[in-house]
Structure 1
């Protein structure tokens, strides 16, 4: 490759500004330098980029075809410089976030939009492990931050910060026998299949909200919801998730205190694994957002 980035910049500026003199003003260079750069680029590429017969240069057919390629090269160079600048300043090469329950995305999405604006060249990996699987990823260093439901047992190595409270609903399809009952007792729930979210590890967490002896274990809230819709059992799902499907399912009127069940949502990290600039920013933003939520509730 004989041509330079300065030549491509001169080509782009001249095409966008409509003249070599205007391009020179934009780039803060003498017009002669712009004219020379474009002429040398034409020699290197073996084509004429502009028609120069009139008062102002006009893109040739070859120039019009090559302009998007030149712009793409310059944009990739800007991206390379941006990534390198971020890395030099302490930004991590990749931020890895694990979220237990994809239904958290509506409120979390606002912060991820801000993250994208604040760190435009950041590479983000967003995973959705369940329960103990999330803690395992943090302990191994596979992910940097986690957002999970409050666990019955916390690994001592991890640090936690409460983000919000999540209310739960006991739901069934409109065609399920329990949907016809005016009130539902614990014994009635035990007579029907329960659909439960599960991770890939066994443990106390897996059994925490089990009420029925008959269970289908399902990896993820969305598959659970689909099975509930099909009348294959009842489930306990987060309000923000169940409300989106109320045209297909109904909330059970329970006779016992679990009708007001709440589960905490936590931010989780490993203190021994330091965060980069983007991870620290997201951690602080999540904690700040949780304080705003608590203030509203208080």
Structure 2
């Protein structure tokens, strides 16, 4: 049972598509199919059910999946440990970032990193923070940059670097725009446009209202803050946005409530041997830490 076949199996299962798995592994679709067929022949059982265009795991596939991930994780961890002995900073670094961090915090970090360590090949993905945590937990990602979770999962090290202060905003012609020192109760009377229900940012906002015995009525949801800014500017509801997204298209509200702050930072798995490329990235990230940020890594 070779690692190439296992890697193809996991890629197909994760993407639900042979063609997408081929793109992810830089192979042809026929090469992916041959590797899956060889693996199925080896274990004498089908791994996928193919119903129309939908691909799902069989019982054998579900049984193999956690073991395949474990084998690949151990193999890759051993490779990193051996490569690290040379002290050379090169190779591939799998890094995920939320869209907001990638657009507004990461560019100077990447510029410094690429200038200092040009031999590193960055495999960067844009993911929601919640997906980034899952990727680190599963071993699919070596490092991630995300909004910090309210509770850090076991075996994950999460280090906050920056703080986003969230501002209550609405359109200039929204009824709330004419008020001063608004209460949360006043905001709760109007619809909000917020990130998705499962996001850390959404939880921060709704928790603030729930502590006052209030419920937020959410008319629309999207995880892209730039899209939220556009929707708010058209008068579809109030929202919260970080300072980096404030502009003339929206109105900042004067709300009698302490600022809602969300910590942003990096995370990695405690049981994973970090490559020299990942350790070098952590050095650059630490150098970008805000002076008023939290210095303490939490577990």
Q: TM-score range by the shorter chain?
A: 0.5 to 0.7
Aligned length: 203
1:248 — aligned with what? Answer: 249
Pair 206,240 (structure 1): closer, same or farther in 2 beyond 3 Å: closer
Q: Which residue is 1:230 aligned to? A: 234
How far did residue 219 of structure 1 move? 2.0
Q: Is the 8 A contact 1:165 1:264 kept in 2?
A: yes
Return the offset for 1:99. 1.8
TM-score scaled by structure 2? 0.61
Match of 2:221 in 1: 217
**Secondary structure in 2 aligned to 1:148?**
strand
1:243-286 C-alpha deviation (Å, 9 max, x unpaired): xxx210011011222xx222222221112222222211111221
Match of 1:193 in 2: 191
The secondary structure found in structure 2 opposite 1:138 is helix
Return the alpha-carbon distance in structure 1 between the equivalents of residues 200 and 245 of structure 2. Answer: 24
Offset, 1:137: 0.9
The superposition leaves residues 216-258 of structure 1 with CA deviations (integer Å, 9 ceiling, x where unpaired) of 221221211121122111111111222xxx210011011222x
In structure 2, what is the Cα distance between the partners aligned to 1:112 and 1:204? 25
Specify whether residues 280 and 128 from structure 1 end up closer, same or farther in structure 2 by C-alpha distance, changes over 3 A only.
Answer: same
- Specify the alignment match of 1:274 in structure 2: 273
Instruction: Trace 1:1-298 onto structure 2 (pairs within 5 A).
Output: 90-91=88-89, 93-103=91-101, 105-198=103-196, 202=198, 206-210=202-206, 211=209, 212-242=216-246, 246-257=247-258, 260-290=259-289, 293-294=291-292
Query: Max radius of gyration: which structure?
Result: 1
Q: Secondary structure at the match of 2:291?
A: helix
- How big is the shift at 1:190? 0.9
Alpha-carbon distance, 1:121 to partner: 3.4
Shift of residue 130, structure 1, vs aligned partner? 1.8
Structure 1, unaligned runs of 5 or more? 1-84
SS in 2 for 1:254: coil
After TM superposition, the score normalised by the length of structure 1 is 0.61
Larger RCO (CA within 8 A; separation ≥ 6): 2
Map of 1:56 onto structure 2: none
1:191 and 1:294, CA in 2 relative to 1: closer, same or farther beyond 3 A?
A: closer
